[in-house]
Chain A
C-alpha cells in the first residue's frame, strides 16, 4: 500500500528581548541559578504580570514578514498544569485569540519545486524554568531564570509531506526569525525548538490519520531522523493490522528512535481560561505602521537587490541571502575595500564556505572576518597575487589570523609583474629546453603550455600570468 506522510510543525522561537514577557527581570543566558527570577517569575502571591512592549513589536514584525493577519484584540489565557519548574501552576499563553492569525511561507520541496506552507497562527507565551535532575542526590534542583522568557509559538498547518519538507520549512523559519531579528536562533541554548505532529494516510485519501506529537527536537538532523523513524513505525503498526495511538513521543538521539511519553487517555487537561490579570492586548494600526517602518530588509527583497545591484545570478543571490549572516558578511566584504561583487561572491561561497564546512564552523565563528577577506581579495584585484596564491594565503590567514598583506610580505608572494624579470626567466627556460623549443618551432603549438608551466615553476607561481602569456610567444616564435 502506498502511504502519504502528513506533518505539521510547532516551532518555539525565543524572542530577543532584554527582559521577560511579564516582568522586568533579565533574560541574559548563562546567569547563576535563580539570579534572574523576580517575584513575578516566582509566582509569589500578590504580583501582577505587565506585558513587555518589545514582545508585541517582535510578534507584529513576524506577522508582517509572513503575510499573517494581526489580531486587533488578542487575549492571554492560563494553561493549567502542575510541574515544579512552573511556579504559578499555570503557564500564561494564548488560546482562543492569538496575536498572529493565518499566514504563509514558501519553501522548496525535495524536487526543488516551490510549495506554500500555511501558518495557522503564532501566539505569545512564557517559557517555564529548568529542572536539574543530576546535581543533587534524591532531589531535583529548580532554576527559574528561564521562567517567563518570551516565546512565540509558530504553528503550521499539516501541509508538509516528508521529513525533507519539514526540515526545509524549519530551516527557512529559522533563517527568517534571524533575518528579522526577533530570535537569535541558537538551537543549543534552546532558543529555537520544534515539535512535530506526524501521521500517515493512504495516498490519495483526504482524511487525516491519527497523529503522534514528537517533542523537543533541537536540531534539524534530529527533526529529520525523528520523522523518518516515526513514519516507518506508523507504517509498521498499520500494516501489521494495528492502530496508531494519539500520543506524545520523545526522540532519543542516542538510540535514534521515538518512544511514548504519554498517551491521550492520560493526557493533561489544561483547562484553559482567559487570564483575569490580563485584559485584551490591543494592537492598533498606528503601532503596526511603526513596526513596518522599522522592518529589516526581508530575504526575498534582499535576493532581488543582489541580482539587480551586484549583477549576481539568481542562484548565487539566493545562496548568499539564505542566511542573514552570509548576506551581511558578503556585503561587509564589498564595503570594506570596493571588492567586485563577482569576486567576493565566488570566494565567500567557495573558499570560505568549504573551509567552514571542513572545520564545522558557522560563518559567525569564521577565523577570517569580512574585513580580513576583503584585505585578501583586494590583492587579487590589484594583481599583487594570483588567485591560486591567494588560496594558500587564505589557508595561512585561517590558521594564524594574520592579515593578508602581512603574510604576502613575509613569504614574498607578490606577483612578479616586472617585464624584465619575467623575460629573464623565459630566456633561461628556453635555453634549458632546446629540444622542446625545436619541436615547438616545428609546429607542435601545444608545447606552449609546457613553457608556461616551466616559467611558472621557476617563478614559484608568482609570475603574472597575463604578462607571461604576452611575453612568451614572441620569444618562442623567435
Chain B
C-alpha cells in the first residue's frame, strides 16, 4: 500500500505532530516501505493460529483494592508549567 502525502498529513494531525511540507514525500515513501513489510507478513497463511494481543504467555497480575498512594500534589505539580488553586492550567479549551 502506497501512502499519499495527504495520508501523512492526516496521520501527523492525529498524532499532533508538526510535519514540514518538504518532509511529506520522503515520509510517505518510508512509511510505505514499512507497510509493505506488513503486507508481506499478511501473506503468511495463519489459518488455525489463535490471534494473540501480546507475545509470550504472560497474564495480568492483579493488586488488592487498598489505597497506597497518598496525596503528593505539591510534588507532582512542580513539573507543571502552570497551576492555580490545585488545578493544572492549560490554554482555554472550547468544546
Q: Which residues of A contact B (CB under 8 A)?
A: 17-19, 23-26, 32-40, 42, 44, 50-56, 73, 75, 77, 80, 82-84, 96-97, 131-133, 135-136, 138-144, 261, 269, 271, 274, 276, 278-282
* A25 with B69, Cβ < 8 A, contacts A269-B14, A278-B60 known: yes
* A53 with B14, Cβ < 8 A, contacts A33-B85, A35-B73, A142-B88 known: no
Q: Which residues of B contact A (CB under 8 A)?
A: 14, 16, 53-54, 56, 58-69, 71-73, 76-77, 82, 84-93, 95
Q: Is B77 within 8 A of A279, CB to CB? A: no
Shortest distance in angstroms between A252's beta carbon and chain B's nearest beta carbon? 12
Q: Is A25 within 8 A of B67, CB to CB? A: yes
The distance in angstroms between the C-alpha atoms of A84 and B92, with both chains bound, is 10
Which chain B residues border A83 with CB–CB below 8 Å? 93
The distance in angstroms between the C-alpha atoms of A38 and B71, with both chains bound, is 7
Q: Is A19 within 8 A of B84, CB to CB? A: no
Which chain B residues border A33 with CB–CB below 8 Å? 85-87
Q: Is B86 within 8 A of A50, CB to CB? A: no
Q: Is A24 within 8 A of B66, CB to CB? A: yes
| 7 A–B pairs (Cβ distance < 8 Å), ordered by A | A19-B69, A36-B71, A42-B76, A52-B62, A53-B62, A139-B92, A274-B54
Q: Is A281 within 8 A of B53, CB to CB? A: no
Which chain B residues border A32 with CB–CB below 8 Å? 73, 86
Q: Is A82 within 8 A of B90, CB to CB? A: no
Chain A residue with the shortest CB-CB distance to B50? A73
Q: Is B59 within 8 A of A52, CB to CB? A: no
Chain A residue with the shortest CB-CB distance to B76? A42
* A34 with B54, Cβ < 8 A, contacts A19-B66, A25-B67, A269-B14 known: no
The distance in angstroms between the C-alpha atoms of A345 and B61, with both chains bound, is 48
The distance in angstroms between the C-alpha atoms of A39 and B72, with both chains bound, is 9
Which chain B residues border A135 with CB–CB below 8 Å? 85, 87
Q: Is A142 within 8 A of B54, CB to CB? A: no
